[in-house]
Amino acid sequence: MEKTLVLIKPDGVERGLVGQILSVYERKCLRICKMKLIQADENLAKKHYEEHKDKPFFKELVDYLVSGKLVAMIIEGESAISIVRKENGDKDPLKADCATIRGMYANSRTKNLVHASDSLEAAKREISLWFPEV
């Protein structure tokens, strides 16, 4: 079974959307293996978004990730990596399909509620970053 790292970012927690977001994954027969509500520090946020360190939006992105508590989880299931990315939807609110989490609830390119690993390698790296004990 495939595993992926998912974050419900601080706007999702702040807006009280944790339950709705989890239900999207659960109804798709994906299983939550590990889950925690935590406040990420800057070091963790920077490592998580390392691939974007040279982008103009990097600082805003890191500030956003540490702006409040977030939910980090490992989700498992058949094709979990692609299915979760599909359910999350496009990061551009103008492109996100209305049936996706971002399409339904997000209207910002930065504050877009969710993160999910985009490949097997990213999933491995991100799971060990957020759940070093695994």
Name the site residues for ligand CDP (rule: CB under 6 A).
52, 57, 61, 91, 109-110, 112, 115, 118
Question: How far apart, in whole angstroms, are the C-alpha atoms of residue 94 and residue 7?
Answer: 22
Question: How far apart, in whole angstroms, are the C-alpha atoms of residue 88 and residue 103?
Answer: 8
Residues labelled as active-site residues: 115
CB nearer to ligand CDP: give 69 or 109.
109
Instruction: Give the nearest distance from C-beta 71 to ligand CDP in angstroms.
Output: 15
CB nearer to ligand CDP: give 74 or 133.
74
DSSP string, 73-119: EEEEETTHHHHHHHHH--SSTTTS-TTSHHHHH---SS--SEEE--S
Q: Which residue has tokens 């702006």?
A: 67
**Cβ-based burial of 39 (10 A; exposed 0-12, middle 13-18, buried ≥19):** exposed
Going by the DSSP 8-state scheme, the letter that residue 98 receives in this structure is T
Instruction: Give the nearest distance from C-beta 85 to ligand CDP in angstroms.
Output: 7
Instruction: Give the nearest distance from C-beta 128 to ligand CDP in angstroms.
Output: 18
CB nearer to ligand CDP: give 2 or 118.
118
Instruction: Give the nearest distance from C-beta 44 to ligand CDP in angstroms.
Output: 15
